[in-house]
Amino acid sequence: GAVVSQHPSRVICKSGTSVKIECRSLDFQATTMFWYRQFPKQSLMLMATSNEGSKATYEQGVEKDKFLINHASLTLSTLTVTSAHPEDSSFYICSARGPGQGVYGYTFGSGTRLTVV
């Protein structure tokens, strides 16, 4: 089945620094990747959708200059949280979808716990 790998699983960074999170599709070509954010005891909120080779489409209220998304290849997308602040601390999850996968294309990574101190 489709496997999505996300790294790192957890990261602690100082306020003002930038953090990069990677999302890789291991056994399929991910033409579309989705990035979500999840606060404790809450649901997943879609941040942005990225198609390979195109600029990401951000959801309303998500700052594109703060959450930089790059989807330069069919197997890798990255989310960079720039100038991180404590309120950016959250659980970030990606999902990757390839052509012809149907509902099984909504495969999720294992998430990244970001703590900004």
Identify which of residues 82 and 91 has a Cβ nearer to other proteins in the complex.
Answer: 91
Residues 70-99 that bind other proteins (CB under 8 A): 91, 93, 95
* One residue of 31, 32, 50, 90 binding other proteins per CB under 8 A: 32
- Rounded CA-CA distance 87/104 in Å is 33
> Which position among 11, 68, 108, 115 is part of the footprint of other proteins (CB under 8 A)?
108
Q: Binding residue for other proteins (CB under 8 A) from 67, 107, 114, 116?
A: 107
Residue from 29, 8, 19 nearest 107 by CA: 29
- The Cα 38–Cα 95 span in angstroms is 13
Distances (CA, A) of 62 to 3, 28, 46, 88, 112: 27, 28, 9, 12, 18
CB 47 within 8 A of CB 38: no
Residue 113 CA to residue 91 CA, distance in Å, equals 5
Only one of the segments 11-19, 43-51, 68-76, 78-86 lies at the binding site for other proteins (rule: CB under 8 A); that segment is: 43-51
Nearer to other proteins, 46 or 72 (CB): 46
Instruction: Give the footprint of other proteins on this chain (CB under 8 A).
Output: 4, 6, 9, 32, 34, 41-46, 49, 91, 93, 95, 103-104, 106-111, 113
